[in-house]
Amino acid sequence: MSEITLKGNVIHTSGELPEMGSTAPDFKLTRNDLSDAALAAYKGSRIVLNIFPSLDTGVCAASVRRFNAIAEKLPDTFVLCISADLPFAQARFCGAEGLQNVETLSVYRSAEFGREYGVQIVDGPMRGLLARAVLVIEADGSVGYRQLVPEIVEEPDYEAVLEHLHN
């Protein structure tokens, strides 16, 4: 169980992020067209998992916009923005914002994702949503980078993610 804060108040997650160098847990999430997206579909490419509570918050929306701009400059890299939002809301947000370089995926049919990745919030007012985290899964399927944002109302450390991606 990891400890993070929400506006300074301690809350907990369901576990820990996958260990560096470990094989990333498989997942089956839901695309905007309601089809399934499995980790295996991205095999052989780098994958950035931008995990967050909901697009209905300013910080989450900002992270998706920022990763969309980053993704445009990353060849052979998929940026997956993962939240508990319904696929329809995710599609509406990306359409209204003109975001085409990221793929939004929903956990609404896959509660096990939050538990297996250690990011499901288990107490406090956001219980059941996902904590803010970024993982980079390397082309071989291993976890090459991980970041659990300690204060949920803050954005990820984009520079640290970019530094890893450019090495």
Domain boundaries, the chain: 3-165
Percent of the chain whose pLDDT exceeds 90: 76
Q: What CATH class has 3-165?
A: alpha beta
Contact between 108 and 30 (Cβ < 8 Å): yes
pLDDT at 74 over 90: no
Q: Which residue has the tokens 């696929």?
A: 87
At residue 134, what is the residue type? V
Q: For residue 59, what pLDDT is reported? A: 83
Helix axes of 58-71 and 158-165: crossing angle, nearest 10 degrees: 20
pLDDT at 33 over 90: yes
Per DSSP, the residues of 36-80 read EEEGGGGTTSEEEEEE-S-TTSHHHHHHHHHHHHHHTT-TTEEEE
78/64 Cα distance (integer angstroms): 13
pLDDT at 123 over 90: yes
pLDDT at 97 over 90: no
- Could you list the active site residues? 60
pLDDT at 71 over 90: no
Give the chain's mean pLDDT.
93
**Token digits for 21?**
């160098």
Please tell me the pTM assigned to this model: 0.93
Q: For residue 58, what pLDDT is reported? A: 84
Query: What is the average per-residue pLDDT within 82-94?
Result: 93
Q: Tens digit of pLDDT for each residue in 35-60?
A: 999 999 998 999 999 999 998 888 88
